[in-house]
Amino acid sequence: MLKKILSTIALGALLTSCETLIGLDQKYNTDEINIDKPHFSIVFSSSIMGETHPCGCRHFPLGGLPQVAGLFSKLKKEKEILYVDTGDTLFPSSVIPKHLQKSLTFAAMNLAVGLDKLGLQYMVPGDHDLALGWGFLRNVQEKVKFQFLLSNLSDENIIKHKKYVILEFGEKKIFLLGFLDPTTLQQGFQPDFLTPEKALEKILPELKEQGYDNKNKNHLLFALSHAGMDADVELAKKFPQISWVIGSHSQSFTNFPNEVGQTKLVQVLSKNHYIGEVMIPTKVEIEEPFKYHEIREELKKELEPNPFIAFIDEHKTQIERIRDDEQKFFMTASASAQKIKTAQSCLECHTDQADHWQKTPHSIAFATLLINNEHNNTSCIGCHSVGMGKDGGFINFKDIVHMKDQSKSDNYWAEVKKAFTGVESIRKLKKADVVKLGTKWAAIDKKFEVTTNFANVQCLNCHNQHQDHPFSVGEGEKTPEQRHMEIKNNCLSCHTKEQSPEWYDKDKNGMSLDASDSKIKTMMKSVGCPAK
């Protein structure tokens, strides 16, 4: 058995280095790791979905590689940690639009490199991570040191991986497995995997050969599972010897472990907004061995200097260049389609509503993206504009504002951005300042002879309107309840738990619950226009 010393991996900063020795067992395709410090935790993320840094929309931003680096630096002062991830990490979805493939591929690869530098050591790929197939994941392996942990491949030669990992910590022996449930995958990938149940039945005899004894209280069986909470519950019922299931895919959130018999099931929310931690006991059991860490902005200060700040700055610069080139090849919205009506077509008649809207952050919402240099980010644009991807709307940033002389577009945006110099947060502005900035923007529109401006959250983001309004027949036939539900659904499509936690009731630990109608009505009233 070959022994080797692990090199550190964290942009020159030691963030995670719990393993002092690794044993590579070629027969069983496993790693053996010895932890020689008195305190040890397994920390985990899931459903990062391609996000390297907060987009800037929230009052209190969460997530980001510099912030996670700060947390790990803080934890390392107290204990050794092993960082693992349970998938849906590299891409925002399992299907990549062709026109976004270059930018999303760059972002995914750079995120993988960033996680590697953070000290990620084992990852269970999820369905999102297979968006570009096995070939892309093999390319990832050429640039990173972390390994894929897959215990249920139908063919061991599909991709380089580890089948399981054995951790030795004092008297504890931890057997770490990784499962990707084939039912979460597109059909083309399903034959590449056994079900977790079938795979575990085959692996248990191997684990016994490696010394695993389910009657030994110091032997712990951990499953890193990309299957969803319901499937994890069923797995725990069938295999009660599993000590912990660290899950993902369903994006559930556990304030406390979900216990199925003696098995503890845990998950954390997405996009690195939270990092989970399972503390491994030595001789004395830990009363509450699971906790989650909220990844707040100030955590990045725990690592000084923090090299991930420069990493993210460079990431933003490169991806902005790629997105800009990418969007030059987009088709613009059809010139023959009747354009979606913008706020300008509503303001003349609906004066009270116009006065209210012009005092709200909605009226200058696109500036949030300009301030944070995310104006080319198509995953953000839709909630800061009206009509993206719709007939009569626009396709991308290059197409969001139409003016008499489109060649002046760059000069137009330079002036708009200059108008917001010194503004850090649109949401925190006073009403008078919002109006002042909105007036400046309107003057710039007039100067450049803008004919259509889809930027900012406008009337038709919330309201559904017949294209021939006010001359259409039958548009007023909906009941008040029907109209409320339409607006509510429109609002919640952007005001999610992640982006607008203030819209949701909280549990005793301060975590957002599902939307209650009474809470949503209160929030809608606070931002909604006055009645006719």
Angle (deg, nearest 10), helices 307-327 and 65-76: 160
pTM: 0.82
Nearest CA among 279, 280, 299, 302 for reference residue 291:
279
**Secondary structure of residue 58 in the 3-state scheme:** coil
Q: Measured between alpha carbons, how far is 239 from 263 in angstroms, rounded to an integer?
A: 9
CB-CB contact of 55 with 102 (8 Å): no
DSSP state of 371: H
Question: Where in the chain are the domains?
Answer: 8-310, 333-477
- Angstrom distances, CA of residue 124 to CA of 162, 361, 527: 10, 40, 42
Of 390, 381, 383, 385, give the one whose Cα is nearest residue 339. 390
Structure tokens of 81? 């940690």
Q: 């420069």: which residue's tokens? A: 310
- Our CA dihedral for 310, 311, 314, 319, rounded to 10 degrees, sits at -150
> Which amino acid appears at position 492 of this protein?
L
Q: What is the SS3 assignment for 294?
A: strand
Q: DSSP state, 501? A: G
Alpha helices by DSSP H, listed for 159-215, are 196-209
| Angle at which helices 431-447 and 409-419 cross, to 10° | 160
Q: What is the pLDDT along the chain (532 residues), one digit of tens a residue?
A: 223 323 333 444 444 455 544 555 566 789 999 999 999 999 999 999 999 998 777 667 899 999 999 999 999 999 999 999 999 999 999 999 888 899 999 999 999 999 999 999 999 999 999 999 999 999 999 999 999 999 999 999 999 999 999 999 999 999 999 999 999 999 999 999 999 999 999 999 999 999 999 999 999 999 999 999 999 999 999 999 999 999 999 888 888 999 999 999 999 988 889 999 999 998 788 899 999 999 999 999 999 999 999 999 999 999 999 988 887 766 554 444 578 889 888 887 888 888 999 999 999 999 999 998 889 888 889 999 999 888 888 888 888 999 999 999 999 999 999 999 999 889 889 999 999 999 999 999 999 999 999 999 999 888 876 555 654 445 556 777 787 788 888 888 888 877 777 777 776 655 566 777 788 888 887 777 777 6
Alpha helices in 20-100 (DSSP H): 65-76
Structure tokens at 143: 């640039």
Determine which helix (DSSP H) or strand (DSSP E) holds 324, and give its type and residue range. helix 307-327
Integer angstrom CA distances of residue 211 from 116, 182, 218, 517: 30, 29, 12, 54
179: nearest Cα among 192, 193, 160, 158? 193
**Signed CA dihedral, 89, 92, 93, 95: sign only:** negative
CATH 3.40.50.2000 applies to domain 8-310: no
